Amino acid sequence: MNIAQIFEQLDTLHMERRRFVKGIAAGTALLGLGGISTRLHAAEEIPANPGMPVLQGKKFTLSMAPQQVNFTGKVRTATAVNGSVPGPILRWREGDRVSLKVTNHLAESSSIHWHGIILPNAMDGVPGITFPGIEPGESYHYAFDVRQSGTYWYHSHSGFQEQTGLYGPIIIDPLEPEPFSYDRDYVVMLSDWSDENPNDLYAHLKKMAGYYNFAERTSADLIRDIKKKGLSRTVNDRSMWNIMRMSDRDISDVTGYTYTYLMNGQTPAAGWTGLFKKGEKVRLRIINGSAMSFFDVRIPGLKMRVVAADGQNIEPVTVDEFRIGVAETYDVIVEPESERAYAVFAQAIDRTGYALGTLTPDVSLRAEVPDFDPYPILTMTDMGMDMNNMAGMHDMKSMKGMKGMPEMDTMSGMKGMNHSGSTMAGMPMKTEQPMPMRGAAGTGSDTPVVHAKTEFGPHVDMRAMSPKYRLDDPGVGLRDNGRRVLTYADLRNLYPTPDSREPGREIQLHLTGNMARYMWSINGIKYADAKPIELTYGERVRITFVNDTMMNHPMHLHGMWSDLETGDGRRIPRKHTVVVQPGSKISYLVTADAMGGWAYHCHLLYHMLAMFRKVVVSK
């Protein structure tokens, strides 16, 4: 056996062990299996999961309190709602007025935000912006009219309580019959759990951003690349990333090293179970209630018909797989035609673990767990580079003379990009102020991308050279995988666009950061130093995000819909959370129809403290 084969075997054994531990083995001590388990055979009897409690009606009483849990064989303290992690399913009805008395039995201030729900400002549940929070021993009375239907969720907006379990689903039944039929209706809530205190977890990231990333390139990778691509090309590829001091395997900040991924509060070893009868239509309301984790969801052997996104009905799209960002929801309908078990498989975007469930006609049947996909590798496209303009470049020498190529400085990381060939040279944008608006409603913006002066310095280590709309891009790790993968380009509102006005102005926001130092910002300015974004009541405005980092950022605007521009102004899909892919740009329209101050932020919990803005709507 030669050295390359030895390295390859060691690398494979390492990855398989990690997949075993953080996949099906996680939580096995709960089942008395002593931490060593294989997949359950079909003949073994498996009790049906009790599922999450369901509260239904117009009046609700919720209590937030510490709760001991054991997901991994170690007893830890979670933050529970009514003694449950996740919290109970809240089932409302469109047109009703709901009343929720929320009492805080924790030792610190708390809150509940009703994610994606359109409601009065004082009911939104964001301390410091819409209300003061709920102090220990006190209660807060939420009351509002339900003006929508669909699948949503709730979570704490205080500190890191969401990471410790304070979240749960919301289902709103419509007044009118739905435009699709189904026989069974299941909530599938995905989340991530860590035995670590979230304050410690955040401290680790601040000290070393790659603390939880154990998938960096190895000697075995180098040898494989040389065999596959040759020495010269391999050296060039590595040199490019080394010069930029970045990693093409920097996919997730927090990984399966510390996370156990849950489905409806069940570990992969236990697994959530949903029953069906052959030929039934099963609706799955899939919610990503995690703190930091993107999931790629598929059910091998079944097509999924996507009928709603973020609670809003869309023209049905049939797919094999979809990526769900933090805080997004998708409703799908599946039709099992065989009396066998199917795995509901949600692998983390970085392939370091998965959440698992089973659709089955019999609780004694379990599906085979699918294999992981290969570890995703970032490309120059994910850095916002225009690969068409890079054609013919054979080595790093030619890159050094390329206009716009970031230069490196030992003290400050990347220096400013060369804009001498740009029509916008010499025109730095005033941070978060309106720009000249171009592009019809629904088609997106063709306003040039301009970097503000605030985006230059050691707090920003990257600026996308040529960010483009990539609505039809399924994202890193899903491209050309042989499966039909949902993209934002597939989303089309089932109903005509409610507000067909052209936007009156455009606001361009850059998602910025220094990944090595774990510093995040918008337009290079952290929340503590930022001025609010001012909107005029009733106006229609376009917001264009430019992602100057190599990470996906799920951006959530409270209080108002984000009308995603996918090319068709007549059927613009409405979302409450929009994922901005690495090195890309994306636009949506907002009707400023909600008075007051609102939160606007990245929904990755450990980014939120700085990648945050207050939006103020006034007359």
Reported as a single tens digit per residue, the pLDDT across 408-432 is 332 233 233 332 222 232 233 344 5
pLDDT at 205 over 70: yes
* C-alpha to C-alpha distance for 503 and 134, rounded to whole angstroms: 38
pLDDT band of residue 246 (cuts 50, 70, 90) is: low
Which residue, 71, 76, 70, 91, is CA-closest to 154?
91
Going by DSSP bridges, is the β-strand pair 97-104/113-115 parallel, antiparallel, or unpaired?
unpaired
Q: Each residue of 549-586: pLDDT tens digit?
A: 989 999 999 999 999 999 999 999 999 999 999 999 99
Average pLDDT score over residue span 533-559:
97
Instruction: Provide the b/e sequence for 120-142 (b: ≥16 CB within 10 Å).
Output: ebebbbbbebbbebbeeeeebeb
pLDDT band at 233 (very low <50, low <70, confident <90, very high): confident
Q: pLDDT-derived band of residue 397, with 50, 70 and 90 as boundaries?
A: very low
Give yes or no for residue 516 having a pLDDT over 70.
yes
pLDDT of the residue at 249: 74
More confident: 457 or 32: 457
| Mean confidence (pLDDT) of the chain | 84
480 pLDDT band, cuts 50/70/90, is: very high
Could you tell me which residue, 37 or 263, shows the higher pLDDT?
263
pLDDT at 501 exceeding the cut of 50: yes
Query: What's the whole-number mean pLDDT along residues 74-98?
Result: 97
pTM, two decimals, is: 0.85
Distance CA 253, CA 552 (A): 11
Query: 406 pLDDT exceeds 60?
Result: no
Q: What pLDDT does residue 90 have?
A: 98
The more confidently predicted of residues 533 and 39 is: 533
Among left, alpha and beta (phi > 0; psi -120 to 50; other), residue 165 is left
Average pLDDT of span 162-181 = 97
What local confidence, expressed as pLDDT, does residue 432 receive?
Answer: 54
Look at residues 420, 414, 432 and name the one whose alpha carbon lies nearest to residue 550: 414
Region 90-115: mean pLDDT is 98
Cα–Cα distance between 159 and 331 in angstroms, integer?
A: 29
Identify the burial level of 33 via C-beta atoms within 10 angstroms of its C-beta, where 0-12 means exposed, 13-18 middle and 19 or more buried.
Answer: middle
